[in-house]
C-alpha cells in the first residue's frame, strides 16, 4: 500500500502544476507534454476453471492497475508517446513507447516506430477500458489455448491430452521439448500487449489503411525478438455511411521461440519457419443510444510436430451490444466463443483444444466524468479442462485523469 500511495502522488504531481485551462498539459519550451492516467480496481468471485486467466498472469475480474499515458508533442508533426502501467502493485512496465511522425496532412499519413498499436482485429485497438463496456476480455483476445510459443508437443497425442488446460499450465515433461518454465498457452490474439516495429497509417475520406512490420506474432507480441522471423500485418477499414464501420485485417508472423525450435534439425523446420497466420473481419454500427459490434477471427498455427501436413486451426467469434438507458447509465451484453478443428492422433482423436463459449452481461454507470463503475456476470462453458462450466460475478471502478 505504501507503493500505491507513492505512485498516486507521483501521478498527481504533473497535474497539480498544469495550467487550469488545459489540465494534464505542460509547456516545455517549444514542445508540450500531455499527461493522463487511469486507476482501475476490480474484484470478482473465484474463477476455478481459469476461463479468464490471461498471459499477463492476471484475471481482469481481480485486477488493480495503475496507468500513466504521456504524449510529448515536439512539433506539430512529431510526437513521442508512452504508456506505463503496473498490475497488482508489481513492477511497472511499458505497454507502448513509440515515435509518431505525421508525414502528410492530406491524405493523412502517420509513421510510427517502437512498441506500436496493433493492426489486426478490432478489440485490441480500443485503448483502455472505455472501449470495453464489460469487465471480461473477449475470449479470442484472452483465452489461453494449449499451444505454447516456447514448447512444441511431442506429437498429436501429447497435445490432445492437455485439452482445456491452456490457462492451467505447469511444466510437464511429457508434453514436449523446449522451455522448462511454467507458462500459459497462446490466445488467438494477445489483447493486452503491443508489438514492436514500424507501422504506417493512411486515412483518406471514408477509408483507412494500416500496414506494419513487427517482431512477434498476433498471439505473442514481443519487445525482444525470440526468433529471427518477422510479422507482417495490415488492415483496411471503410465507413460507407455515418455510424457504420467495416474492417478486414490479416497478419503472418513467426511465433515459435528459439528454445522450442532448437530440437529441429534440417530437413525439419526451424523456429522462424513456424508461422501463425490470422484473418479477421469486424463491423460496428451505432444509431441513437445503441451500439452493436461483431467480430470473426481465424488463426492458423504451423505446429510441425503435432500435424506436419497442415496448420492447426482456431476460430473466434464475438457479438456485443450496448444500450444507453439514461444519462450515465448503460447495459451491455456479449456472446463469444473460441472453437478448434479436429486432430487425429495414434491413440486419441478430438478437437486439438476444448472449445469454449461465454455469455457476459452487465451495467455501467458514470458517477462523474472521470469516475466509472461496472458490474457484470459471465457464464462459461467448455467440453474439457479443470472445470466444464463456471459463473463469475465482478465489479470494477475506473478513475481517469
CA angle 36, 360, 166 (to 5 degrees): 85
Q: Which residues contact 226 (CB under 8 A, 6 or more apart)?
A: 149, 150, 216, 257, 258
The count of other CB atoms within 10 Å of the CB of residue 346 is 8
209: pLDDT strictly greater than 70: yes
Using a 10 angstrom Cβ sphere, with 0-12 exposed, 13-18 middle and 19 or more buried, the burial of residue 266 is exposed
> Residue 115 is placed in which grid cell?
512498441
Contact 298, 279 (CB under 8 A): yes
Nearest one of 305, 372, 12, 283 to 158, comparing CA atoms: 305
Beta bridge partners of 252: 232, 277
Helix (H) or strand (E) holding 2: helix 2-16
14: pLDDT strictly greater than 80: no
The count of other CB atoms within 10 Å of the CB of residue 382 is 22
**342: confidence class by pLDDT, cuts 50, 70, 90:** very high
For residues 179-198, average pLDDT: 86
Share the mean pLDDT of the chain. Answer: 87
The count of other CB atoms within 10 Å of the CB of residue 175 is 20
Nearest one of 102, 31, 103, 107 to 70, comparing CA atoms: 31
User: Phi and psi for 261 in degrees, rounded to 5?
Assistant: -80, -5
Q: For the segment 59-85, what is each residue's pLDDT rounded down to a tens digit?
A: 889 999 999 999 999 999 999 999 999
Nearest one of 255, 92, 206, 319 to 82, comparing CA atoms: 92
Weakest-pLDDT range from 8-17, 208-217, 282-291, 349-358: 8-17
129: pLDDT strictly greater than 70: no
The whole-number pLDDT of residue 272 equals: 65
DSSP secondary structure, 6-24, as one string: HHHHHHHHHHHTS-GGGTT
**350, HSE (Cβ side, Cα atoms, 13 Å):** 16
The whole-number pLDDT of residue 128 equals: 60
- Going by their DSSP bridges, the two strands 371-382 and 389-400 should be labelled as antiparallel
Helix (H) or strand (E) holding 259: helix 258-261
- The class that CATH gives domain 42-56+102-400 is mainly beta
**220, HSE (Cβ side, Cα atoms, 13 Å):** 26
Is pTM beyond 0.85 here?
A: yes
Amino acid at each position: 500500500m505504501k507503493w500505491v500511495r507513492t505512485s498516486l502522488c507521483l501521478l498527481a504531481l504533473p497535474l497539480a502544476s498544469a495550467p487550469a485551462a488545459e489540465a494534464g498539459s505542460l509547456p516545455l519550451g517549444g514542445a508540450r507534454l500531455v499527461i493522463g492516467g487511469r486507476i482501475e480496481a476490480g474484484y470478482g468471485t473465484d474463477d476455478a476453471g481459469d476461463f479468464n486467466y490471461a498471459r499477463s498472469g492476471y484475471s481482469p475480474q481481480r485486477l488493480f492497475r495503475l496507468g500513466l499515458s504521456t504524449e510529448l508533442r515536439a512539433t506539430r508533426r512529431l510526437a513521442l508517446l508512452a504508456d506505463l502501467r503496473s498490475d497488482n502493485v508489481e513492477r511497472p512496465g511499458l505497454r507502448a513507447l513509440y515515435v509518431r511522425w505525421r508525414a502528410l496532412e492530406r491524405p493523412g499519413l502517420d509513421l510510427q516506430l517502437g512498441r506500436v498499436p496493433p493492426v489486426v482485429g478490432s478489440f485490441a485497438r480500443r485503448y483502455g477500458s472505455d472501449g470495453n463496456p464489460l469487465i471480461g476480455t473477449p475470449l479470442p483476445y484472452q483465452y489461453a489455448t494449449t499451444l505454447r510459443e516456447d514448447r512444441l508437443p511431442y506429437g498429436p497425442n501429447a497435445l490432445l491430452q492437455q485439452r482445456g488446460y491452456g490457462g492451467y499450465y505447469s511444466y510437464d515433461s511429457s508434453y514436449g521439448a523446449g522451455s522448462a518454465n511454467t507458462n500459459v498457452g497462446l490466445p488467438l490474439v494477445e489483447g493486452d500487449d503491443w508489438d514492436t516495429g514500424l507501422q504506417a497509417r493512411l486515412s483518406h475520406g471514408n477509408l483507412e489503411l494500416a500496414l506494419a512490420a513487427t517482431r512477434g506474432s498476433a498471439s505473442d507480441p514481443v519487445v525482444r525478438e525470440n526468433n529471427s522471423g518477422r510479422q507482417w500485418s495490415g488492415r483496411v477499414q471503410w465507413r460507407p455511411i455515418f455510424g457504420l464501420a467495416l474492417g478486414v485485417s490479416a497478419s503472418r508472423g513467426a511465433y515459435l521461440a528459439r528454445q522450442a525450435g532448437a530440437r529441429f534439425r534440417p530437413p525439419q523446420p526451424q523456429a522462424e519457419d513456424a508461422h501463425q497466420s490470422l484473418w479477421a473481419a469486424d463491423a460496428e454500427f451505432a444509431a441513437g443510444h445503441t451500439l452493436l459490434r461483431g467480430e470473426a477471427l481465424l488463426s492458423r498455427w504451423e505446429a510441425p510436430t503435432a500435424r506436419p501436413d497442415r496448420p492447426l486451426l482456431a476460430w473466434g467469434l464475438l457479438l456485443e451490444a450496448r444500450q444507453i438507458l439514461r444519462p450515465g447509465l448503460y447495459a451491455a451484453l456479449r456472446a463469444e466463443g473460441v472453437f478448434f478443428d479436429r486432430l487425429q492422433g495414434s491413440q486419441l482423436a478430438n478437437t486439438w483444444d476444448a472449445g469454449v463459449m461465454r455469455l457476459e452481461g452487465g451495467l455501467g454507470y458514470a458517477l462523474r466524468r472521470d469516475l466509472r463503475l461496472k458490474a457484470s456476470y459471465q457464464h462459461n462453458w467448455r467440453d474439457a479442462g479443470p472445470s466444464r462450466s463456471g459463473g463469475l460475478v465482478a465489479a470494477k471502478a475506473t478513475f481517469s485523469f
